Structure 1
Amino acid sequence: MSKVIVIGGGPSGMMAALTASKNHEVILIERNNELGKKLKLTGGGRCNITNNRDIDEFFDKVVNNKKFLYSSFYTFTNSDLLNYFSSKNLEYKVEESNDHKVYTKSDKATEVIDILKGDLIQNNVKIMYNTKVIDLIVNNDTVSGVITENNKNIYADKVIISTGGKSYESTGSDGLMYDILQKHNHTLNKLYPALSPLTIEESWIKKLQGIALQKVEISCKIKKKKISKIGDMLFAHFGITGPVVLIMSSYINKLLENDKVTLTIDCLPNVSIDDLSKALRENPNKNVLNNLKGLLPQNFLKGIFDVLDLSDKKTNELSKKDENRIIEYLKNMQLTCNGSLGIKASMVTSGGISVKEINSSTMESKIIKNLYLTGEVIDIDAETGGYNLQIAFSTGYLAGLSV
C-alpha cells in the first residue's frame, strides 16, 4: 500500500483524500484548524453543492478551459456526487426556478462538511490540522513528499495539491502554492477576480443603492462577440452585484485590466418596446410612474424617474422624447464598468496553473511525476450556480482515483 499526501482540506482535497483512501494510506494536510472553511461560505452559507442540470450542460457554464474537464466531469458527475451524499443520508433540495441549484435541505453547509469528515475518519485518513506546507520535495522531476512550516519533511509516493486560489484569503487561500509550483517549473497563468461585484463609473446609480431587480439581461461585446446573461442583480454604493453581475464579471475580468467595459442592461427582457410604450400611456390621467406599477419595483422606478426628472410627470403631458428617455433607461441602460472589487472579494480565482501542464485524464502533472493538481489551483473557473464546486469534487475524485 503506497502513501498519498493531499494538501488542502477543501471540497476538492477532501474528495481526493477520500477516493485515494480506498487503495492507499492517505495523509490530509490542512493549514486551518478545521476542514471545509471556504465550503461554509458557498451559496451564501447555504452550500450550493452542485447543479441539477444534465452534466452535458455544465460545459457551457465553464468560462475557462472547458475541454480540460471532460474526463473529470464524466468520471464523477453531479449525479454521482448527489448519490454519494444520499448514501450518507444527506437530504438536499433542487431549486428548479433558481437555475436548478442544489442545496442542503437544511441550508447548512456544515452537514456536507460533517459527512465528508466522518467518511475520511472512517477510511483511516490521517488529518493534520494547523499545518502549512511551504515546499515540495522534488528530485529528478519526481515529487517524494512535502516540507511543512516547521521544516519537517513528510515523505509519500504521491502528492495531490488541492490548495485553492487567492479568493477568500481568510480561509487559507493565499496563493502560496502558486509560488511553490512556479519554483518547480510550473507555469502560472495570470490571476483575475472571477464572480466578483463590479464597480460602475456613473454616479447617479448610487440613488438606486439597495434596490434589487429580478431576471434582467446584461450584455456586452467582447471582441465583437455579444455576451448576454439573464438573472438577478442588486445596485450597491460602488456599482452592481448579484448573481448575473457576478457571472458577467468572469467574462470581462481580463478586459477590465486595460480598459473600461460598457454594459447594457435590459430591465424588462420579456417586455417589448411597443408593449412598454403602451404601458407608459395606459392611463392618460395618471402619473406616468404609476402606469408602470407591477412591471418593476416602485423604488427602482422612482429612482430612475428622479434621475430623468420625470417623477411628477402626468401621462397626458409626456412628450415622445421623454417617453423614449424612459424606455432607453429601462430597456437599454448603459453603464460604464471600470473595474471590480478585486480578487479578495471574488468568489473564485480565474487563472492559475496552466492546464497544458496537467494530464486531464488523470490530473497528474506533466512537469513533475507523481504530483497531481485539482480544483481552483488550476486555470479553470465557471459561472455561479454550483458549477465550481462540482469542478472541485470531480477533479478531486479523478486525482484520488488516479494515484
Structure 2
Amino acid sequence: MAKVIVVGAGPSGMMAAISASKNNHEVILIDRNEELGKKLKVTGGGRCNITNNRDIEDFFEKVVTNKKFLYSSFYTFTNMNLLSYLEQNGLEYKVEDFNDHKVYTKSDKSEEVIDMLRHDLTKNKVKILLNKKVVDIIVENDSVIGVKIEDGEKLLADKVIISTGGKSYPHTGSDGMMYEILRKYNHTITKIYPALTPITVKEGWIKNLQGISMQNVEISCKIKKKKIAIIGDMLFAHFGLTGPAVLKFSSHINKYIDENELELNIDFLPNISVDEISNTIRENPNKNVLNNLKGILPQNFLKEVFSILELTDKKANELTKSDENKIVESIKNMKLTCNGSKGIKTSQVTCGGISVKEINSSNMESKIINNLFFTGEVIDIDAETGGYNLQIAFSTGYLAGISV
C-alpha cells in the first residue's frame, strides 16, 4: 500500500483519487478551493456535458492536440466505462442524440456529478483537504516525495498526481501556477493558448450584426494551404464571433492567430447552392428580395447585410445582376478578418501545458521525475466541445490512479 497525494480536485483529480483508493492506497486529495469540482460546476452552462455517446474510436478525430498520446487513456477507461460508472453510482444521465450525441445528467445539474464523486471519495476513505494551496513539490534524487503547502506545511507521500488544470477559468483556481513549479524541475511547458474561445474580427461593421444568431453555418479558412472547416451554430457579437461552431473553430486556429491575421469565409447556407439562392431571389419577380429570401434566412440578418452592402430592398425584377451577386456572395462567402481571440480568461479549455514527450502515455508518469503523475488539462492536450475534454479528464485520471 502506497501513500498517494492528488493535487487538484477537478474531474481528473477526483477520478485519480478514487481509482487509486480502490487499489488499496492511502489517498489524500488536496485543493486550493473551498469546494470540490469548482470548474466542473460551471461547465456546459452548469449542465455538465459529461461525455459523448459516440464510439470511442470517433473521439480521436475530435482531439485537436496530441491525439495519439490518448490511446492508452481512452481505451483503458472509455466513455462506456464512464457511463457504467455513473450508473453503478446511481447517477441518471441522458443522451442528446439531436445535439451531437452529448451526454448530460438527467436533471441538467452539474452538482449531481460532483455529489456522486464526493460520495465515492468518502466511501473509499479518501482524505480531502480543501483551502490548501500547494506551492511546490518536494523532489529528492529525481523522485517526488511530497508537496509543500502555502502555510509552510509539508506532506510526504510515495506518489504524487498533479491534476491542477490549465489557465482557463482562472476564477476557479486554475491560474497556471503549477506550470512554473514544474518548469523548475526541468519539465517543458509548451506555449499556452486559449482553446474553445470566442474570436475577434477586424471589420467594424460586425457590430451591426451583434446578437444575431445563425444555425448550421460553415466557417472555414486556409492555413498553409490546409483548409479548416467547421459546421454548426454561431452568434455575432460586438467584438466578433462566438457560439458552438466558433468555439470549435478557435481551437484549430489559435496558434496561428496568436501572431497573424486570418481571412475567414462563412457560408450561411452550406447545403444550398449559389444557383439555388439566385433562383430564390428571383422566384417572385414582383415581390421584394427580402421577402423572397424570408424562408431561408432570418430577416434581421438579411436587413443588416443589405445595409452593409449599401443596398435598398427592392422588387426582384428591379435588382441588377451585380447587386444580386453581392447578396449571394455575402450569404455563401462572407469574408471576415480574424485578428485574435477573447483570450485565456474566456476560454473553456487550455491549449498547451506539460509536454507529452515527457509523460509515459501508458501510465501518465513523468519521464523526468519518478513517482510523479499527471492528469487532465495540465497536460498539452485539448479537444473540441461535445464532452470530449471531460472524457480526457476522467480517462487520464483513471489511468493515473490505477498506475500509482
Does the pair score TM above 0.5? yes
User: What letter corresponds to residue 245 of structure 2 in structure 1?
Assistant: V
Counterpart position of 1:268: 269
| 1:98 maps onto 2:99 in alignment | yes
From the superposition, tell whether residues 311 and 110 of structure 1 become closer, same or farther in structure 2 (CA, over 3 Å): farther
Q: Is the aligned partner of 1:48 residue 2:49?
A: yes
Distance 2:233 2:77 in 1: 30
Offset of 1:234 from its aligned partner?
A: 0.3
Counterpart Cα distance in 2 of 1:7 and 1:386:
23
Post-superposition offset of 1:312: 2.1
Q: Which amino acid aligns with 2:118?
A: K
Q: 1:20 to 1:333 in 2, by over 3 A?
A: same
Q: Could you tell me how far 1:306 is from its partner in structure 2?
A: 1.6
- Structure 2 distance, partners of 1:246, 1:321, is 34
SS in 1 for 2:98: coil
How do 1:3-402 residues align onto structure 2 when only pairs under 5 Å count? 3-23=3-23, 24-402=25-403
Offset of residue 305 of structure 1: 1.4
User: Hey, which bits of structure 1, 4+ residues long, moved more than 3 A?
Assistant: none
1:98 and 1:311 map into 2 onto residues whose CA distance is 38
Residue aligned with 1:97, SS: helix
Given that 1:302 and 1:311 are in contact with CA atoms closer than 8 Å, whether structure 2 keeps it comes out as no
The secondary structure found in structure 1 opposite 2:340 is: strand
Query: Which amino acid counterpart does residue 387 of structure 1 have in structure 2?
Result: Y
Aligned to 2:345, what secondary structure does the other structure show? helix
- Structure 1 residues 161 and 214: CA distance shift in structure 2, 3 A: same
**1:309 Cα deviation (Å)?**
2.5
- Alpha-carbon contact 1:289-1:311 (below 8 Å) kept: no
User: Could you tell me which amino acid in structure 1 is paired with residue 304 of structure 2?
Assistant: G
**Mapped partners of 1:228, 1:104: distance in 2:** 30
TM-score (norm 1): 0.99
Q: Deviations over 1:176-227 (max 9, x none)?
A: 1000100011000000000010000111111110011111001111211101
- What SS is found at the alignment partner of 1:321? helix
Q: Whole-Å Cα distance in 2 between the matches of residues 290 and 137 of structure 1? A: 70
Q: Secondary structure at the match of 1:170?
A: helix
Give 1:20's aligned amino acid: A
Q: 1:94 aligns to what SS in structure 2?
A: strand
* Equivalent position amino acid for 2:179 in 1: Y
SS of match in other structure, 1:215 = strand
CA displacement 1:117-144 (0-9 Å, x = unmatched): 0110111000000000000010111000
Please give the secondary structure, in 2, of the residue aligned with 1:344: coil
Does the 8 A contact of 1:284 with 1:315 survive in 2? yes
Give me the whole-angstrom Cα distance separating, in 1, the residues matched to 2:386 and 2:238.
Answer: 25
> Quick check: 121-130 or 287-296, which moved more?
287-296
3-state SS in 2 of match to 1:258: coil
Alignment partners' CA distance in 2, 1:312 and 1:250 = 38
Structure 1, unmatched stretches of 5+, are none
- What percent of counterpart residues are identical? 72
- RMSD (Å), alpha carbons: 0.7
How many pairs are equivalent? 403
Letter of the 1:242 counterpart = G
The C-alpha deviation readout for 1:213-247, integer Å capped at 9, x for no partner, is: 11100111121110111010000011000011011
Question: What are the superposed Cα offsets for residues 274-295 of structure 1, whole Å, 9 maximum, x if unpaired?
Answer: 1111111111111101111121
Alpha-carbon distance in 2 for matches of 1:359, 1:324: 56
SS of residue paired to 2:351: strand
SS of the residue aligned with 1:137?
strand
Q: Distance in 2 between matches of 1:284 and 1:90?
A: 58
CA-to-aligned-CA distance 1:298-327 (integer Å, 9 cap, x gap): 111111112123342211111111111001
- The answer to whether the 8 Å contact 1:5/1:158 transfers is yes
SS at match of 2:38: coil
What is the distance in 1 between the residues matched to 2:296 and 2:142?
A: 63
Taking structure 2 as the reference length, the TM-score comes to 0.99
The structural deviation recorded for 1:2 is: 1.1
Q: What code does the residue aligned with 2:214 have?
A: L
